[in-house]
Amino acid sequence: MADDVYSVLHLFVCGFDKLRGRINRLHMGTSPEAVGGPRTTTTTVCPILSPSNLLPPKTYSGAGRLLLIVIAFVGFLLAGCGTKPSQELNVFVAASLREAFNDLILAYEENHQDVDVIGNFAGSQLLRVQIEEGATADVYISANEQHMRQLNENGFVTASVTTAATNELVLAVPTGNPANINTVDDLLRADSRVVMAGPAVPAGAYAREMLKKYGEYAGRPAVARNILDRTISFETNVRMVAAKLELGEADAGFVYRTDVLAADGRLEIIDVPVEVQVSARYPMATLSTSNAPRLAQQFVVFVRSGEAQKILKTYGFGKSPQSDGMPS
């Protein structure tokens, strides 16, 4: 009976610990190899419940037996240590996709309970560098074509590139528009605090493209350079741009439409002429560094499925096109 008590309690405690760990990993989106460190395999140990430390009672009441049954049932629901997923999939995803892909990964794992998907979310340029420096990655999803093209040229892309989703760059301000920014020209005012991502960041490249288009549209090509010269901060990813706007540390900035939706009313969009609007594409591919190429391709197919695209749509992302190819 003592062995039964140990087994039941071990299942309950370790099962809860595993479930909590998976939830934390999805939200933090990091793993040792994602930052250049080696992968380490850890085994869940429950020292308090070690058989050598357990002192079983000599008798068991009816209530005690009922408690054991309840604990066993809950432990089963929490997926104990004996049901640990047998395969891992490392997915490197652009930061602007974080919330949507947390839900998408959970949906994938519901249908593939033997697979543990580890999401690493960061700026596309940082993820590319991690992959080039040897991080274990199975799938890469960038916020623009430049970084995917570089990986392809360096031999890291193993299959044709497809599109995970689409987005749109917008000019955003804090709710209420305290600085009274109404047009792109207002960014030229001496008191305007403008923030955007750096040039290597996809959102930063898109911002520069929009400013260039606006200069051509307005017949004043110098507008782009003048606004860049007045920009107070260039961030390493688009989420940091949105955060500065939400905190009131900047008057206007360039973010994705989905960032404004994710801000839950703390940001609003300033309309720009349709002629200068910029669309964003999220290219996706499996990688030569993959330890699970079959699973990687399976995940890519899932991202383009109706179920996954529906999840992305709820976060404001556009549908992926039916036909894709390697960006030229």
- Domain annotation covers residue 213: yes
CATH at residue 221: 3.40.190.10
In the block, residue with structure tokens 């089963």: 76
- Domain annotation covers residue 220: yes
Distance of CA 261 to CAs 2, 170, 257, Å?
55, 12, 7
Confidence of residue 141 (pLDDT cuts 50, 70, 90): very high
- Mean pLDDT is lowest, of 61-65, 137-141, 225-229, for 61-65
- Domain annotation covers residue 62: yes
Q: What are phi and psi of 231, to 5 degrees?
A: -65, 130
In the block, residue with structure tokens 């009816």: 62
What is the predicted pLDDT for the residue at 63?
61
> 79 and 184 in one domain?
no
| pLDDT (tens digit per residue) in 233-261 | 999 999 999 999 999 999 999 999 999 99
Chain mean pLDDT for the chain: 82
Full DSSP string of 225-258: HHHHHHEEEEESSHHHHHHHHHTTS-SEEEEEHH
| pLDDT (tens digit per residue) in 76-112 | 555 445 456 689 999 999 999 999 999 999 999 999 9
33 vs 57 pLDDT, higher one: 57
Confidence of residue 73 (pLDDT cuts 50, 70, 90): low
- Mean pLDDT is lowest, of 65-74, 143-152, 166-175, 289-298, for 65-74
- Has this prediction a pTM greater than 0.75? no
Question: Residue 54 sits in which domain range?
Answer: 1-84
In the block, residue with structure tokens 């068991």: 60
Confidence of residue 263 (pLDDT cuts 50, 70, 90): very high
| H helix runs in the chain, sequence order | 2-28, 62-77, 98-111, 124-132, 145-153, 202-218, 222-230, 238-246, 257-262, 293-303, 306-314
Residues 130/34, Cβ–Cβ less than 8 Å: yes
Residues 272/184, Cβ–Cβ less than 8 Å: yes
> Could you give the number of structural domains in the chain?
2
Which of 84, 111, 146 finishes a domain?
84
pLDDT of residue 150 exceeding 90, the answer is yes
- Domain annotation covers residue 319: no
Residues written for the chain: 328
Rounded CA separation 108/130 (Å)? 25
**Residue 19 C-beta-side C-alpha neighbours within 13 Å:** 13
Which of 84, 111, 129 finishes a domain?
84
Which of 53, 84, 115 finishes a domain?
84
Rounded CA separation 181/189 (Å)? 10
- Domain annotation covers residue 273: yes
Closest CA to 264 of 193, 181, 174, 177: 174
- Domain annotation covers residue 301: no
- Domain annotation covers residue 59: yes
> 173 and 266 in one domain?
yes
| pLDDT (tens digit per residue) in 171-205 | 999 999 999 999 999 999 999 999 999 999 999 99
Rounded CA separation 80/16 (Å)? 7
- Domain annotation covers residue 158: no
